[in-house]
Amino acid sequence: MTYLSLILSPLSIINIIFGAIIVFHGRKTPSVTWAWLFVIVMLPYVGIVLYMLLGFDGRRRGVFVEKRIRDTENYREFFGLSPSGHDFINEQMDILKRGAFTEDSCPIKLDEIVYLNMIAGRAAYTEGNDVQIFTEGGPKFDALVADILGARQHIFLQYFIVRDDSLAKRIIEALTSRAREGVQVRMLVDGLGCLRTPSSLFTPLISAGGEVATFMPLHLGALNYRNHRKIAIIDGRIGYVGGLNIGNEYLGLSKRFGFWRDTHLRIRGDAVHQLTLSFIMDWNFAHKKEPLSLSGDLFPANNIQPGTSALQILSSGPDTEWSSIQYAYMKLINSANSQIIMQSPYFIPDDSILEALRLAALSGVDVRIMIPAHPDHPFVYWAALSYLGDLLRAGVRCYKYEKGFIHSKVMVIDECIASIGTANLDVRSFRLNFEINAIIYDLKLAAETAKQFHKDVQDCSEITLAWYNARPRSVRVREAFSRLVSPIL
């Protein structure tokens, strides 16, 4: 039987009709819908199975609506919002106007960006934060363990991946020691990211009085919608957020990846309260039997400002009304006057981001993008190359990081504003994953992050338009196929 006759057989036609019904019923975006139909047609029978595993929403949509309602109540309680929220908005904008970081020091129209993040992402604007940037795993985890051992009241950890290795055991040991001393310890892990992590890893912590919960354990229709956040909160005064999961590979000890280049933040100040709020809402979703309340002990007052950085902590996911991190990326790109630099291990932008970057480059903005040279997902890499090819023609400069694996999720605009967090520049981060980013309004930190990017360029090979046009036919075919299915990668 030929492949064409297989596709046109009665059973296959029924398969395609059934696939079309369930895909269109899902009310996905047109690009996602057509990508799934392509998979179902080209992979008879198997395509339906893949869709049921990866694309079917099941009860998720209703569950996330319920979470959104509860989260909205938590936001209103935490910020003391009136039904309209106008008082809070006015107060926030007054803080911005009185602050040192103004349009006199930064050419970007700040009030629009801050306002967008408040409305779409419920991200409070806080000043006086101290921010430390880590670009490797070793120093970050040394600092985290030291902060854990210094905890006096509570420790909250939330990670997408926790490996069963020496780094994880070091952190669990530190958490266990504090739990034995009466410190409240809670750890939230993702059901897919920790699928192969044995529960025995957490046994010492649980035996010492700590609690561990799993965000969305795997079942049919729950492979998507993963909690990709990586945060830690110590006593409500110190917070961590960024790209580093817990595992030896993030220390650069993996033979496959070698040196691991990432970006992670250590924050002190009122911005930590927003990390705490995000953790509480995710914890209560995963651990409904014993929910955390918005106790004042979890949000201690900072009577002295520890630093000078202004921040917004921006969360987004399938439970939020708006794709707030995607909107923030678009707004930042469209606000750039001179330079945009971006690092992302997965670069699969939707049309809105792609057009914004193309428009910026064609308008004379210096746009530079960095991806890994040795990807962990080949289809994602080939799809990324196809999108970068479009941008090269508009004048964007693109780089492949050769030193090891770059996992950093960074954007810097005009060396004024930086975004650092967990969200990649791909459709999955925009619409399927639970993500969290810090938007940093600090000239010094933005310049420091841009300087690190230019340092990383020394470990890159540049993707030129000449190189791209000369790529082998086999790569072109892989790109074409990968781009067709990129909305569902």
Active site residue 444: no
Active site residue 454: no
Active site residue 94: no
Task: Considering the candidates 407, 426, 442, 456, report the single residue annotated as catalytic.
Answer: 407
| Token pair of 354 as six digits | 């792609």
Task: Considering the candidates 147, 190, 414, 442, report the single residue annotated as catalytic.
Answer: 414
Task: Considering the candidates 282, 409, 442, 456, report the single residue annotated as catalytic.
Answer: 409
Active site residue 235: yes
Burial 91-126 (b: 16+ CB within 10 A, else e): ebeeebeeeebeeeebebebeebbbbbbebbbbbbb
CB atoms within 10 A of CB 167: 21
Task: Considering the candidates 28, 67, 140, 230, report the single residue annotated as catalytic.
Answer: 230
Task: Considering the candidates 235, 262, 270, 350, report the single residue annotated as catalytic.
Answer: 235
Asked whether 384 and 348 are in contact (CB, 8 A), the reply is yes
CB atoms within 10 A of CB 32: 20
Spatial distance between the Cα atoms of 162 and 212, rounded to a whole number of angstroms: 12
Task: Considering the candidates 28, 67, 140, 228, report the single residue annotated as catalytic.
Answer: 228
Active-site positions? 228, 230, 235, 407, 409, 414
